[in-house]
């Protein structure tokens, strides 16, 4: 018979990369993402006996992660300033350096969004959640999700003229 710690270790090995990817998109920082995932996994471990039976450990870990991030947003903030302008996008060549630069531009644009807008954009378009699911995960109303999504997309459109930059090259 497998010990609970063995099954939790297997869960951590299997799902940490996916959780880190989502956490990075929420926080915009690799170190903060690692801290967020660590917090989520610690809380998931405390509830593991109940979660393992029901088979919803990843959903629980993600919800803990989103709630922890919302709690972090509510703390007093120090203003961040990103110096510099967006690079000129005319005459793109399609080489790897240009693709990397475009991804960095999009990342910088995402980081200019408010934390709620960024979370809604990630949940809706990266993780493909419905408005209702995103609202439930964030603990806000569906109207808040719609509003934050619309405002975030409008801001992204002004910052990044061509949002198709991450489509696969053909």
Question: 22-55: per-residue pLDDT in tens?
Answer: 999 888 889 999 999 999 999 999 988 887 666 7
Cβ(86)–Cβ(158) below 8 Å:
no
Model confidence pLDDT, tens digit, residues 76-125: 666 666 666 655 655 555 577 877 877 788 788 888 888 889 999 988 98
- pLDDT, position 38: 93
Residues 6+ apart with CB under 8 A from 68: 36, 39, 40, 43
Mean pLDDT is highest, among 5-9, 52-56, 152-156, for: 152-156
Distance in angstroms (rounded) separating the CA atoms of residues 140 and 148? 11
Distance in angstroms (rounded) separating the CA atoms of residues 36 and 68? 7
**Proportion of the chain above pLDDT 90, given as a percent:** 25
């Amino acid at each position: 018979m497998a010990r609970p710690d063995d099954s939790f270790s297997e869960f951590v090995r299997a799902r940490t990369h996916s959780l880190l990817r989502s956490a990075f998109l929420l926080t915009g920082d690799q170190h903060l993402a690692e801290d967020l995932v660590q917090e989520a996994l610690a809380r998931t471990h405390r509830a593991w006996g109940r979660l393992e039976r029901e088979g919803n450990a990843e959903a629980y870990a993600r919800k803990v992660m989103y709630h922890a991030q919302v709690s972090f947003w509510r703390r007093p903030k120090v203003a961040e300033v990103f110096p510099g302008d967006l690079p000129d996008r005319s005459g793109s060549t399609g080489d790897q350096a240009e693709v990397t630069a475009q991804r960095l531009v999009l990342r910088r644009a995402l980081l200019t969004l408010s934390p709620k807008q960024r979370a809604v954009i990630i949940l809706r378009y990266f993780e493909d959640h419905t408005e209702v699911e995103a609202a439930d995960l964030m603990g806000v109303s569906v109207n808040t999700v719609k509003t934050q999504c619309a405002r975030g997309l409008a801001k992204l459109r002004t910052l990044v003229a061509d949002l198709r930059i991450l489509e696969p090259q053909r």
